[in-house]
Structure 1
Amino acid sequence: MNLGQKEWWSQFLADENGVLLDVRTEDEYNDGSIPNAINIDIYKGQGFIYKIEELDKSKNYYVYCAAGARSSQACGVMQQLGFENTYNLLGGFSNWEGPTK
């Protein structure tokens, strides 16, 4: 599901089962990210799928990338793998106005 920044963040903050997932490259992640986000690079192909498969499918995943395209793709892959609740951040980290580290 695609959510705008305010809705995405407020829903995450209220979600005791929420997990932040950054699907950008490690370099992008190291240049700045949302605090407590897990980084799994979608460009790693099969490696991305292996890492995603290790995650708890009962959690709710709040997924972001730089602009919203890779995270949208990641949400689709995750749904095919059996994840029921994935939320894509529209506009991505490049438009992010919330906390960063």
Structure 2
Amino acid sequence: MFDFLKPAAPAYQNLTPAQFAEGLRQKKAVLLDVRRPDEFAGGHLPGAVNIDVTSPDFARRVADLDKTKSTYVYCRSGARSATAASQLTKAGFADVANLLGGVLDWPHPLVR
């Protein structure tokens, strides 16, 4: 009756590491690491692009990405990437996925 009182569901998907890995295999997705550059340098998922979500130019930098492609986002634990995923969906990205647990729960090797 009062649907307007219900909180809106996130327009992005929260995926387990297994779902995230499977999605990356199946789609030609943009893989976005939203951690700080020093964290990225310490090890990241293969093929990831690093754009720090806490950077003042985050919105400008992600605006250069293709909004029609699937965008898979991750950070250290999943908190910053959830923030980034929300910002991406508000900016018009159609298919956004967030890695639950971040790289802390990622079972595959990271690259440097």
- Shorter chain as denominator, the TM-score bin is over 0.9
Q: Measure the CA separation in 2 of the matches of 1:33 and 1:6.
A: 17
Question: Which structure would you say has the larger Rg?
Answer: 2
Match for residue 38 of structure 2 among 27, 51, 55: 27
1:19 shift after superposition: 1.2
Q: Specify every segment of 5 or more residues in structure 2 that has no aligned partner in the other structure, as ranges.
A: 1-12
Structure 2 SS opposite 1:42: coil
> What is the match of residue 92 of structure 2?
82
Structure 1 SS opposite 2:35: coil
Output aligned runs, 1:20-99, within 5 Å: 20-45=31-56, 47-99=57-109
> What is the match of residue 14 of structure 1?
26
Identity percentage of aligned residues: 39
Q: Measure the CA separation in 2 of the matches of 1:66 and 1:84.
A: 24
Give the alignment's TM-score, normalised by structure 1: 0.95
Number of residue equivalences: 99
Q: Measure the CA separation in 1 of the matches of 2:66 and 2:109.
A: 25
Give the alignment's TM-score, normalised by structure 2: 0.86
After the TM superposition, list the runs of 4 or more consecutive aligned residues in structure 1 that deviate by more than 6 angstroms: none
Counterpart amino acid of 1:23?
A: V
Counterpart amino acid of 1:99?
A: P
User: Residue by residue, what CA displacement relative to the aligned partner does 1:44-69 show, whole Å, maximum 9, x if unpaired?
Assistant: 03x00000001011110110000000
Q: Measure the CA separation in 1 of the matches of 2:16 and 2:105.
A: 10
Q: Specify every segment of 5 or more residues in structure 1 that has no aligned partner in the other structure, as ranges.
A: none
Give the RMSD, CA atoms, in angstroms.
Answer: 0.8
Counterpart amino acid of 2:106?
A: W
Q: Measure the CA separation in 2 of the matches of 1:23 and 1:63.
A: 7
1:99 shift after superposition: 3.3
